Amino acid sequence: MSLPSRMNERYKAIDRLCGMAEWPNLRVEQVKLEAGHLNPVEFQFNEVGFVLAGRTVTSYSGNGVKKQYLIEQGTARVCPVGIVERDVVLDAAIECLFISLPPGLIEGSALVDYDIDPAKAELVYAGGLADPTLQRIALSFHDVLRRGIEPETDRMFVDGMQAALAAHLFSKYSVDRWRPPARVPQIDLRRLARVLDYVDAQYADNIALSDLAAEACLSPYHFSRLFREATGQSPHHYLTLRRVKAAEDELVRNRASMTEIAQATGFGSQANFIRVFQKATGITPGRFRESRLRRHP
């Protein structure tokens, strides 16, 4: 079954189609979207959207419900067949991977993998999802796009990933199994996005809680409480993990010394860098670098 691309119909703000691949019952497209309004569309297939890069607040309506999400690198969205999506607005540019599947694939997974009536395999309409399994599957498809299609070997791999995706969608995002978040964050999402953008830009500096609170136009006390409610982490812990991620990139990208990386990523001293990095990742920076260089010499 060939799945028609709806990109030109849906995304009038497309900057470029970065890559596309299709197999029977599966289409994968990598697209960069500019900020602005998206055209309304009725979905003829099930789609998973995954953010590869960027951060934006998006608001949209579908299935009679209006919602707003903060979406950023690593988050996903599930959009089922039959949904009419309209009034979609992106505050900033993002790069996404769209994976399209026919309805019958989800129904087949329900019957074959779970021995459940396929009529119960309808998917929910949900966005802003932080789902590690969806992330691994999406990045696996993205790897295929980046290195180019190898017809002789990719089909078996793609079939396996397609089956894994269908099973995961049914097991977690079918209407009977979906468990929405218990609470909606009370912090304004655009304020939260400003804070996260600030951390991305300034993580190497000496950032105080008051600096982050000022970006959100809140008192430090209220900001700290609302930030933890929205992200599940304290502001300090979020900043620390952002510095660790930057340090991981530096360890792989160049041969800088531990002291140089500690200074460049906001840890101050080499001793503090090693201590915090090991606590966050379970290994020392030196061992992390060795393991990555062995994998990618």
Q: Across the chain, what does the average pLDDT equal?
A: 86
- What's the predicted TM-score (pTM) here? 0.83
What is the band of 6 on the pLDDT scale with cuts at 50, 70, 90? low
Which residues face 33 on adjacent strands?
Answer: 14, 94
- Does position 109 have pLDDT exceeding 80, yes or no? no
What is the band of 291 on the pLDDT scale with cuts at 50, 70, 90? confident
Q: What is the CATH topology of the domain spanning 189-295?
A: Arc Repressor Mutant, subunit A (1.10.10)
Domain ranges of the chain: 7-173, 189-295
- Does position 121 have pLDDT exceeding 80, yes or no? no
Residue 60 is predicted with a pLDDT of: 81
The mean per-residue pLDDT over the stretch 106-113 comes to 70
What is the band of 248 on the pLDDT scale with cuts at 50, 70, 90? very high
How crowded is residue 211: how many other Cβ atoms within 10 Å of its Cβ?
16
Name the nearest CA neighbour of 264 among 275, 276, 251.
Answer: 251
For the segment 20-74, what is each residue's pLDDT rounded down to a tens digit?
888 888 889 999 988 888 888 888 889 999 999 999 999 887 767 788 889 999 9
Residue 257 is predicted with a pLDDT of: 93
Distance of alpha carbon 178 from alpha carbon 201, whole angstroms: 36
Residue 266 is predicted with a pLDDT of: 95
Residue 114 is predicted with a pLDDT of: 66
Residue 2 is predicted with a pLDDT of: 53
Residue 17 is predicted with a pLDDT of: 72
Residue 13 is predicted with a pLDDT of: 44
Residue 286 is predicted with a pLDDT of: 92
What is the band of 11 on the pLDDT scale with cuts at 50, 70, 90? low
CATH fourth-level superfamily of 7-173: Jelly Rolls (2.60.120.10)
Q: Is 268 left (phi over 0), alpha (psi -120 to 50) or beta?
A: left
Helix (H, G, I), strand (E, B) or coil at 83: coil
